Structure 1
């Protein structure tokens, strides 16, 4: 099999697994947090006051801001390692629901916003590296077909249906749900680790290439230039027009 296509299949599978757990979390998030509020009301512990709505506002605000600098981060770390780091924040976000506290839950919301910006920027670079003019459309289609499978969510929805017994999720059910979701995220992280290993092997094969050596020297010099190019791109007529549907779709 074409190595580029294999890499795209692996990264699509990793995203599908990771976001299956994350989106299942989002479906029950508010019910879970209402249950936590009930647990901490009048029992002498610090009352839990966080809401899922505030969490998502924090996530996408930090996502927006960090997108400005995420290309520089990916340039320094490389796409494979960057994807793993970004995906790890999803794991910690899901894990935070097992024993949520207001401060830690909102901190996890900030971190996942940062991680999302790094993850999606790194994915764009990874797809480009593993594609050429003839395979770009094919590889994009393969990735999005795998990624959209998360929306089917038959296993996740069926599991939630079988586990949930009421609108408010109690502590026992919360432990059960998010232990499983955390394990699913962990499986996704293992696939990202496999991608790091494959990238390491591929780089070793190219280590003697003068082109690769020059590329490594240029990367650190061009980080500032990349940021300037991104700002210039933002001012172009096409990008300004695209901001309208982007803002509408979220």
Structure 2
């Protein structure tokens, strides 16, 4: 893949990997967005099926977060391509487990799915960094995130068509959606198996083979204890809480708001479509402004501030537009204002835009802070985020929207402050290194 269409080899490989994620997460994002709704409908049909969608999602992210500590060691042993291929296969098995409609099967495959996701994302961070120089890392992160976010649009559009006019989700519709998503996951696994080697791994992987898994784990712990990683942990934790809210809590809450009428269940994937659209807009904006932002010392801070402001606006609108009990299940309760579909979908766009800004800038600052520990830093970022996602889903089983939204708003402000401080430290650190290297 050398200089295809005038694009350098590293960027071409990033685009191919991004396409693989687009295919896989066209299935996965749709499944996660609808899982609470699907499980709730199974509970309605089968009184002996006692599974809570939020608990399943929380367990998935807990296993994922714990497994991430072993991600760099797995990469060292079996390689980047094998890690991503295995992760895609395991994750596909995870969301096909809904077909069985047995509680123990769902919990077992949830644990397996979390392990698969950890292999996938730890390898993704390393592959992205290995194919990107410091000058193009922000652009390549933006490219990857644009592909990844587009997956939410594609899968949810299909579900939107299947659920047209449905107030309740029947078994036939559930199975049709799940079979389709499983087939897409299988195709994605084949694409991952054809992933080309990373730019830097031909020379570096030979050296990495001499590094024991225990030493990899020690390196991960060393990165975890750095001042910058501790400061950024606040931002990473908020990113996880926000991801839980926008990907698995908010969209089902729209579907549970029966004041929207017979279209309520169809609005769940529609919310996912516009969530993905917001993420794509956020990523594309950063790609187009990439060179200009990279020249500004406050470029990353400006992007994150814009994203956080968009999220705060969405929180305020959701607070008045969606009834507080909608987070738990079907409700005829009224919101502060008469629930409006257009406001609900607009909030999905704002949430997605903010999410795109958060994730791209988190990856960008890690690539600059830890260029030689890309696998470790990305694994720790995903670990912090996944634990927070699990906490977000766990809290959703107890607290309604009127408690969740103010908590998220406060965390958003703290996340922005922490990121700005860490970015200022990064800028100072880069200046000090430049002064030392200048004769």
| TM, length-normalised to structure 1 | 0.84
Q: Displacement of 1:73 after TM fit? A: 0.8
Q: Which residue of 2 aligns with 1:160?
A: 159
Query: 1:233 touches 1:239 (CA, 8 Å); kept in 2?
Result: yes
Question: 1:22: which partner in 2?
Answer: 28
Query: For each residue in 1:9-37, what CA deviation from the matched residue of structure 2 results, as whole angstroms up to 9, or x when unmatched?
Result: 11101111211211111222122212222
In the TM superposition, residue 218 of structure 1 has moved relative to its aligned partner by: 4.6
Check the 8 A contact 1:9/1:142 in 2, yes or no: yes
Does the C-alpha gap of structure 1 residues 96 and 167 become closer, same or farther in structure 2, counting only changes over 3 Å?
farther
State how many pairs are aligned.
232
Higher relative contact order (CA 8 A, sep 6+): 1
Using a 3 Å threshold, how does the CA distance of structure 1 residues 103 and 148 change in structure 2: closer, same or farther?
same
- Asked whether the 8 Å contact 1:32–1:168 carries over to 2, the reply is no
The answer (yes or no) to whether the contact 1:83–1:123 under 8 Å persists in 2 is yes
SS where residue 221 of structure 1 aligns? coil
Partner Cα separation in structure 2 for residue 62 and residue 135 of structure 1? 33
User: Judging changes above 3 Å, is the alpha-carbon distance between structure 1 residues 218 and 12 closer, same or farther for their aligned structure 2 residues?
Assistant: closer
Q: Counterpart in 1 of 2:218?
A: 228
Q: Report 1:1-250 matches (<5 A).
A: 1=4, 2-41=8-47, 47-151=48-152, 153=153, 155-164=154-163, 165-195=165-195, 198-199=196-197, 211=203, 215-216=205-206, 218-250=208-240
Judged with a 3 Å threshold, the aligned counterparts in structure 2 of structure 1 residues 239 and 158 are, in CA distance, closer, same or farther, namely closer
Displacement of 1:104: 1.1
Alignment-derived partner of residue 359 in structure 2: none
Do the aligned partners of 1:63 and 1:113 also contact (CA within 8 Å) in 2? yes
Q: CA deviation at 1:149?
A: 1.5
Aligned twin of 2:402:
none
Structure 1's unaligned 5+ residue stretches are 42-46
Task: Note the alpha carbon deviations across 1:92-136, whole angstroms, 9 max, x for none.
Answer: 122112222111111111112111111111011212232334443
CA distance in structure 2 between the aligned counterparts of 1:248 and 1:117, rounded to whole angstroms? 19
2:364 alignment partner in structure 1: none
Where does the alignment leave 5 or more consecutive residues of structure 2 unmatched?
241-439
| Rounded Cα–Cα distance in structure 1 between residues aligned with 2:138 and 2:36 | 38
Q: Is the 8 A contact 1:21 1:185 kept in 2?
A: yes
TM-aligned CA distance change 1:35 to 1:141, over 3 Å: closer
Q: Is the 8 A contact 2:64 2:115 kept in 1?
A: yes
Q: Distance in 2 between matches of 1:236 and 1:76?
A: 26
| Contact 1:74–1:82 under 8 Å retained in 2 | yes
Alpha-carbon distance between aligned partners in 2 of 1:19 and 1:223, rounded to the nearest angstrom? 29
8 Å contact from structure 1 (residues 31, 167) kept in 2: no
Structure-2 change in CA distance of 1:242 and 1:217 (3 Å) = closer
